Structure 1
Amino acid sequence: MSVAIKKKKTQGRLQKSDNRLISLEAFKKQYLEKTRYKYEWKDGKVEKDEFMKVGERYIIDNIITKFNTLSVYQQGNRIMAEADCYFSELKAYRRPDAAYFTKQQVRHPEEAPDAPALVIEVVSPSNTDLQNKLKMQEYLDAGVQMVWFIYPNVEQVWSHTSPTDVKVYQQDDKCDASSVVKGFQISAKEVFKR
């Protein structure tokens, strides 16, 4: 399978029209691998981080699927993947792997609080412990009430409500976010189910 890429300048805008053909494999390597990074912003500095890995999508899908059975979903609240969050007080722009938003935050963000109540991050091997701690502290300082760090390699969910209040869930333990998302509990086993 080949794809034609075209580029030409038309009225000050670039249009695609190069007429060279490339294979699907070359397209993936040249264009899609470049998008494995998400860019975040903190106090004037751009920070480069990796998107959630393709092989980890099932984790967020399991969480969203479970959430969608709740009455808060029927009320218009959502858990959204890779949703943009601007924390004005911290001068930080983040894109967590998933976050919980009320209907008001989804439909009228200009009138709603900046911070989602729950933020979920799937931890990659490239993330350092220090990076995770700094990000967790930043989320909490921004008004996020609960932060989940999900560790696929050891199948654990770490739930933080403060820097020192952490619960670690695994196997049949119920990951409990009901204090910030009414009725939301999911077992660690369900989080990691393929």
Structure 2
Amino acid sequence: MPVTIVRESRSLNKPKASKQKYISLEAYKKRHLDKTRYKYEWKDGTIERDDFTKIDERYIIDNIIRKFTETPAFRSGNSIMAEADCYFSQIKAYRRSDAAYFTKEQIRQPEQAPEAPALVIEVVSPSNTDIQNKLKMQDYLNAGVQMVWFIYSDVRQIWSHTSPTEVKIYQKDDMCDARSVAEGFQISVYAIFDQQS
């Protein structure tokens, strides 16, 4: 038996007339920005909420990306991308890290390249608990990520994990070394937190 679809007739070209009201910047931030300050990730059927990188911490990711552009890995077409979406089929999780390192193949031909970026970077928010960070780190490593950096801006430390039991803690003038996963890439803790660049 054929199905008949009835559509309402209305003009798509005429926008509704609306009266615009003035809203202050402060009111806008309170009403709208606070509602969108979270990023949502999916893990095996559940939704997890996390903070986006805060406006006053954007410089951290910017410093990392700018330093990365000086490397042979960048000249080969690889990139560090901010807030890049990743699906990890091995752990049934959809993550959006603060930054991640992708090869040219992962960027241009994702269906043929390994799905896990070699390096994932997270700027730790005060709302993140230690157990949340450990679980996320294990998820990343189980999904094939080779190195995970957790950046603690309040104490100016970078924790670099290459396994659940192996961590290097960088601080002060230390060089954060990712050369084992991204050719030529290392950056000093000072350069990560430099707000003057």
- TM-score in terms of structure 1 length: 0.90
- Percent of aligned pairs with the same amino acid: 67
Report what 2:182 is aligned to. Answer: 181
Q: Aligned pair 1:63/2:55, yes or no?
A: no
Cα displacement string for residues 25-45 of structure 1 (whole angstroms, at most 9, x for unaligned residues): 322322222110000000011
Report what 1:7 is aligned to. Answer: none
Task: Tell me, in whole angstroms, the C-alpha distance in 1 between the residues paired with 2:60 and 2:149.
Answer: 12
| TM-aligned CA distance change 1:17 to 1:26, over 3 Å | farther
What secondary structure, in the 3-state scheme, does the structure 2 residue paired with 1:161 have? strand
Task: Tell me, in whole angstroms, the C-alpha distance in 1 between the residues paired with 2:43 and 2:83.
Answer: 17
Report what 1:77 is aligned to. Answer: 78
Cα displacement string for residues 165-185 of structure 1 (whole angstroms, at most 9, x for unaligned residues): 100001111100000011111
What secondary structure, in the 3-state scheme, does the structure 2 residue paired with 1:28 have? helix
Give 1:79's aligned amino acid. I
Report what 2:20 is aligned to. Answer: 20
Report what 2:169 is aligned to. Answer: 168
User: Quick check: 103-112 or 165-174, which moved more?
Assistant: 103-112
User: Quick check: 16-25 or 124-133, which moved more?
Assistant: 16-25
Task: Tell me, in whole angstroms, the C-alpha distance in 1 between the residues paired with 2:18 and 2:127.
Answer: 36
Task: Tell me, in whole angstroms, the C-alpha distance in 1 between the residues paired with 2:56 and 2:89.
Answer: 33
Task: Tell me, in whole angstroms, the C-alpha distance in 2 between the residues paired with 1:59 and 1:112.
Answer: 28
| Higher RCO structure (Cα 8 Å, ≥6 apart) | 2
Cα displacement string for residues 112-164 of structure 1 (whole angstroms, at most 9, x for unaligned residues): 11100000000011100000000000000000000000000000000000011
Gaps of 5+ in 1: 1-9
What secondary structure, in the 3-state scheme, does the structure 1 residue paired with 2:34 have? helix
| TM-aligned CA distance change 1:17 to 1:82, over 3 Å | farther
What secondary structure, in the 3-state scheme, does the structure 2 residue paired with 1:20 have? coil
| TM-aligned CA distance change 1:20 to 1:168, over 3 Å | same
Please, what is the CA RMSD of the aligned residues? Answer: 1.7
> Mapping of 1:17-166 within 5 angstroms?
18-23=18-23, 24-166=25-167
Gaps of 5+ in 2: 1-9
Shift of 1:110: 1.5
Task: Tell me, in whole angstroms, the C-alpha distance in 2 between the residues paired with 1:96 and 1:188.
Answer: 20
Task: Tell me, in whole angstroms, the C-alpha distance in 2 between the residues paired with 1:46 and 1:17.
Answer: 37
- TM-score in terms of structure 2 length: 0.89
Give 1:142's aligned amino acid. A
